[in-house]
């Protein structure tokens, strides 16, 4: 965990260097996990006083902690929602009511992908065929379009020797 004083200095430098109010400074503290909620709140308050525009108290461990964080600050708050992580997964409307303006879901895609891979490869291993799982697969030409492989192929054609 970065000492709070060091982070305050970094925020002050960012505030001083900012050339536009369109550039927002988000300050994150990970102190909750190792130093407790009170220390995380103290640090977030120091970051707000230093000029942070958005606060991110990482890893609240209950709805009550989310509510406390939401009540404590009069700045936009960010919550990190990781399914099966420490922070409760709540509906966006509930998080908003608690005072969170931004919710990020950084793991949901790769967790879904991991489950899909496990299911498909499990089926393939057990049945030694992919025939009956076609309805669970992305159409290959559509996947190529999704990944924008056409532009890669065009690039290759333009630069082929």
What is the secondary structure of 51-107 as a DSSP string?
Answer: T-SEEEE----SHHHHHHHHHH-SS-EEEE--TTSSS----HHHHHHHTEEEEE-SS
DSSP state of 21: T
pLDDT of amino acid 2? 84
3-state helix, strand, coil in the chain (%, to 5): 60, 10, 30
pLDDT of residue 138: 87
Q: Please state the pTM of the whole predicted model.
A: 0.83
What pLDDT shows up at residue 29?
97
At residue 160, the pLDDT reads 87
Segments of the chain with pLDDT less than 50: none
Structure tokens at 109: 């895609």
């Amino acid at each position: 965990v970065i000492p709070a004083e060091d982070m305050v200095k970094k925020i002050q430098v960012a505030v001083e260097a900012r050339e536009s109010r369109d550039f927002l400074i988000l300050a994150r503290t990970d102190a909750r996990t190792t130093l407790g909620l009170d220390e995380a709140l103290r640090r977030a308050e120091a970051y707000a006083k230093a000029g942070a525009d958005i606060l991110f108290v990482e890893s609240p461990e209950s709805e009550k902690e989310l509510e406390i964080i939401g009540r404590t600050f009069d700045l936009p708050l960010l919550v990190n929602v990781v399914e099966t992580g420490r922070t409760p997964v709540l509906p966006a409307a509930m998080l908003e009511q608690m005072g969170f303006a931004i919710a990020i879901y950084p793991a949901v895609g790769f967790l879904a992908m991991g489950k899909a891979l496990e299911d498909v490869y499990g089926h393939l291993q057990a049945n030694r065929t992919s025939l009956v799982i076609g309805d669970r697969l992305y159409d290959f030409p559509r996947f190529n379009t999704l990944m924008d492989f056409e532009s890669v192929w065009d690039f290759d054609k333009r630069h082929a020797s």
